[in-house]
Amino acid sequence: MGCIESKKTIEVITDSDIKLVCNLDVFGDKNEPERVSGGGSADDAITTTTTTTTTKKQKNKLKYDPRVTAKYELKGTMGEGSFTSVVWVENRQTKQPYAIKIFDAKEGREAFEAELTILRRVRSPFIIRLVEVFENVDKMYMVMELATGGSLMDRIMERGPCGEKEAIRVLKMVLEGVRYLHHLGITHRDLKPDNMLFYHPGADSKLMITDFGLAHARGTADATFMSTICGTPEYIAPEMVLWQAYTSAVDLWAVGVVAFIILRGDFPFYHVNRSKLYKKILRGSFSMDDEGWSKVTERAKEFISKLLEVDPQRRMTAAAALAHPWLRSHAHTSSRPSQDVTSGGDWSCKSSTHSSQSACSGSLRAGRGRKVTPGDLPEPRHHAHRT
């Protein structure tokens, strides 16, 4: 996997590095459509046991493109959405594990194209890596790097908020990924702990940004503004709430929300009523004065405040955030993955216990899976071109 060798040189993956298999014939009888609804369950075709029956193996062949099953052995289901599913597979020849994200061609085409456009361009240790793509008239398959350590949100929910040393280690990796994306003119637009995956369960695991279905790639050097309303309510920036044309600064606001969650185990802005939530975001009204913040340094609080700056022009960029004194205060805490990383692990709780789960606000659970609904936002003053 590629890496950033220096701050000045960023390696961009070329089309030749990705194997794209397009417009494959429909497998089986061309007059008989595949009997799988968009985003439907894959449980019938996938099993993690060693006692897989011949019948289930036959179902695998019927359910998935044989070009995929010929190369990869299906091991289990990792997750499902309205028009996507993610399965765990193993390369039959190398035994290397991967994840395959499967899109329903009818319902998921737009999301697939958006994500593919981004992933074909990027190569960073802090961004999930695309390996190859298969496509037929019914489904699209993205073979991707497998992350087995769970999401950042999973870890926070299981262990509670973490100490500053680990927070710095995690946020450095997030910001390195964001800086790389912004250098390429890519804005993620849905940064949150659920979309940040640990490569493995260990304390020294790297963290990777994933899920680029809402991302936007700048077409030209001058096309810096966007206007599409999208993302997750608790993470969207004030300028988006106001329907204003916005820039990649919305990603840094989201990083500020993530930093707050990591250290406190709660959202900086939350209300069950979305209208009231958005009013809090517009005011930039959050508090770091309660007991939960008593042991957090002033530098850490300042770092968060400079990201949760209502004025996007005054908000820190990714480069400025990486240069902030708080992130530099632990010089030995590296953002480099694998054995080069100083072991973190200073989470306040080490296992999934009642105390660690109660340390995280119930709002974190309530906020998972929510999406922005434009109708819930204040009436727009004007509409710009959608990008």
Containing domain of residue 66, as a range?
Answer: 15-145
Same domain, 309 and 256: yes
pLDDT in tens, 57-75: 444 444 889 999 999 999 9
Final residue of a domain: which of 145, 173, 188? Answer: 145
- CA–CA gap between residue 188 and residue 128 (Å, rounded): 13
- Is the model's pLDDT at 95 over the cut of 50? yes
pLDDT in tens, 271-297: 888 999 999 999 998 999 888 898 999
pLDDT in tens, 107-157: 999 889 989 999 999 999 999 999 999 999 999 999 999 999 999 999 999
> Domains in the chain: how many in total?
2
Collapsing DSSP to helix, strand or coil, 167 comes out as: helix
Same domain, 191 and 225: yes
- Residues catalogued as catalytic: 190
Same domain, 181 and 124: no
Structural domain includes residue 172: yes
Same domain, 140 and 83: yes
CATH number of residue 71's parent domain: 3.30.200.20
- CA–CA gap between residue 176 and residue 318 (Å, rounded): 8
Give the confidence band of 378 by pLDDT, cuts at 50, 70, 90. confident
- Is the model's pLDDT at 55 over the cut of 50? no
- Is the model's pLDDT at 224 over the cut of 90? no
Give the confidence band of 381 by pLDDT, cuts at 50, 70, 90. low
Same domain, 356 and 220: yes
**Environment class of 134 (CB within 10 Å of its CB; exposed 0-12, middle 13-18, buried 19+):** buried
**Environment class of 153 (CB within 10 Å of its CB; exposed 0-12, middle 13-18, buried 19+):** buried
Residues 6+ apart with CB under 8 A from 364: 153, 156, 157, 261, 265, 266, 267
pLDDT in tens, 246-270: 999 999 999 999 999 999 999 999 9
- Is the model's pLDDT at 10 over the cut of 50? no
Q: Which residue has the higher pLDDT, 234 or 383?
A: 234
Structural contact between residues 332 and 266, judged by C-beta atoms closer than 8 angstroms: no
Structural domain includes residue 386: no
pLDDT given for residue 332 in this prediction: 52
Final residue of a domain: which of 96, 126, 145? Answer: 145
